[in-house]
Copies of this chain bind each other. A is one copy, B any other.
Amino acid sequence: MGAALAAAAIDAGHQALVVTGPVDVEYPDQAEVIPVVSTEDMLEACLETFPDCDGLIGAAAPCDYRPVKVAPQKISKTGDVLKLHLIETPDVVALCASVKESQWMVAFALETQDQRIRALQKLERKSCDLVILNGPGSIHSPTTLLEIMNRDGEILAEVAGTKEEAAREVFRVIAEQLIHPTAIAGSVAPGMKQN
């Protein structure tokens, strides 16, 4: 989805900066790509680059948790139950929101129940302008089914199709709702610099 969004942004004449985890995805040649591994790395890269961007789309799914302790050696089987203690990683989108100036921000919400209520809570918590709802069926699938919701909980668009088709529609809504109303002179792009 990130690659498809970057392509849609570039096709619309914008610059795209992609901060990506270690995924097996090809990004458009014209995109600037910053590869990261951990959620902490992603946060650092985003906080460093976000001030120079006009907006941000949070399409990545960084790990929400990390182990409290990392074993220095391989853990041998003992026959007992293994108890893994995990703590939350920082919320990359919410922390970018805490330093934003005039940027627009769009979050993704993947939920398995009470999708709209949870997506709206996420939109609020992450101080975003729009949230895009999708389900677990979108993971590792060439197609997707999305709803785009604003801060009033209105569904602005429902999108189904390939991720490329969905990305173009998502980008059209972002442009209409967030870019054109605020940036009269020239257009701006998702997670990226003005062209």
Q: Which residues of A contact B (CB under 8 A)?
A: 24, 64-65, 68, 73-74, 76-77, 79, 81-88, 110-113, 118, 136
Contacts and interface: CB of A to CB of B under 8 A. Distances in A.
9 contacts: A64-B77, A68-B81, A74-B111, A74-B136, A81-B85, A82-B87, A82-B88, A83-B83, A84-B86
A61 B166 CA distance: 37
Number of copies: 2
B112 A74 contact: yes
Contacts of A112: 73-74
A87 B110 CA distance: 28
A135 to B, nearest CB: 10
A79 B82 CA distance: 22
Given A74-B136, A84-B84, 17 more contacts: A24-B24, A65-B82, A73-B112, A73-B113, A74-B110, A74-B112, A74-B113, A77-B88, A81-B86, A81-B87, A82-B85, A82-B86, A82-B87, A82-B88, A83-B84, A83-B86, A84-B85
